[in-house]
Amino acid sequence: MIRFGIIGTNFITDWFIDTINQLDDVEVTSLYSRTESRVKEYAENHSILHTFTSLEEMAQSDVIDAIYIASPNSLHAEQSILFMQHGKHVLCEKPLASNVQEVTRMIEVAKENEVVLLEALRNLFMPNLERVQQAMERIAPVRRAVFNKSQYSSRYDLYKNGENPNTFNPEFSNGSLMDLGVYLLGPALKLFGQPNEVQASGVTLESGVDGSGTVILSYDDLDVIVMHSKIHATSTPSEIIGEKGRIVINDIATCDEVRLELREGTSEIVSESQNAPMSYEIETFVRAIEARNLETVAHSATDMVRLADVMTNVRTQLGVVYPADK
């Protein structure tokens, strides 16, 4: 039985707990929040036995084997390193950290302490992403891919009204790239590998974060175009285009529906029914712990550094700077 602690009391941790309750050989035993009233209330609502308002005490405790981190992005590296230095495995929400320097350090600490560190970028672990990879062989050679994830943030109205929500605050290492673009760049790099060149453009808000953006990953015979936004919405699907047809992905973040359309005129659904979206990343993480594998094939240390490196490169081109970069 792998015993999880949780950092965070938000809708993402609600999903995590609901998913854990559907799985075998895992349980949530403890919870952290800065305020005692909040941690007690949340723990009682979710039947969590142990509560902490001190991260140091939680990291030192013997009631958890692993920690799930769903705190603001700017805290991911510091919190992950603390728990890994106390021998705890870490499943950390995407993006893994503020920049590639932090990610590199986190991976070093994981190896030093022989614990599993995994970025919880859910679509990389979903069976339907494998179906996409298999379908690519049927349309090869692939010449272009266009990945899109754009949705109007409910926090954007608050921002425009003069408030400073975390979503658009560089102090928390936030913005469209970190929140949505990561869902696109993750699978793009997994499917196509290291690009020859990265070009980025976008809308930078007065707060200093990106509201939307476009990234072009250039390869020898292929361009991958990534479009993300939190200040406008579109229902345009993602697609991978080859000489023999195309693959249409309804929502790249979930990969729920994948359709293969061949140039000869046939079309078929190549996706399968998937369980709770977070179950695949949790199961991958747990299997790595049980097998004593410090890395996973689905998202290795090299993969995590490469993703962070590209995202840091993109922010540099946009002029988006976080306190962690200084």
What b-and-e string marks burial along 246-260, b requiring 16 or more CB atoms within 10 Å of the CB?
bbbbebbbebeebbb
The structure's pTM equals 0.97
Looking at residue 5, what is its pLDDT?
98
Listed by start position, the domains of the chain span 2-120+279-296, 124-277+307-325
CATH topology of domain 124-277+307-325: Dihydrodipicolinate Reductase; domain 2 (3.30.360)
* CB of 48 closer than 8 Å to CB of 82: no
206-207-209-212 Cα dihedral, nearest 10 degrees: -50
Place of tokens 């494998």: 130
Taking only the tens of pLDDT, the chain with its 326 residues reads 999 999 999 999 999 999 999 999 999 999 999 999 999 999 999 999 999 999 999 999 999 999 999 999 999 999 999 999 999 999 999 999 999 999 999 999 999 999 999 999 999 999 999 999 999 999 999 999 999 999 999 999 999 999 999 999 999 999 999 999 999 999 999 999 999 999 999 999 999 999 999 999 999 999 999 999 999 999 999 999 999 999 999 999 999 999 999 999 999 999 999 989 999 999 999 999 999 999 999 999 999 999 999 999 999 999 999 999 99
Looking at residue 72, what is its pLDDT?
97
Please list the residues that pair with 161 across neighbouring strands: none
| Beta-carbon contacts of residue 202 (< 8 Å; ≥ 6 apart) | 176, 177, 210, 211, 212, 213, 214, 318
Looking at residue 156, what is its pLDDT?
98
CA 30 – CA 69 distance, rounded (Å): 12
Q: How do 66-69 and 2-7 pair as beta strands?
A: parallel
Looking at residue 21, what is its pLDDT?
96
The CATH code for residues 2-120+279-296 is: 3.40.50.720
Looking at residue 214, what is its pLDDT?
98
DSSP 174-210: -SHIIIIIHHHHHHHHHHH-S-SEEEEEEEE-TTSSE
DSSP 51-101: EES-HHHHHH-SS-SEEEE-S-GGGHHHHHHHHHHTT-EEEEESSSSSSHH
Of 58, 22, 28, whose CA–CA distance to 43 is shortest? Answer: 28
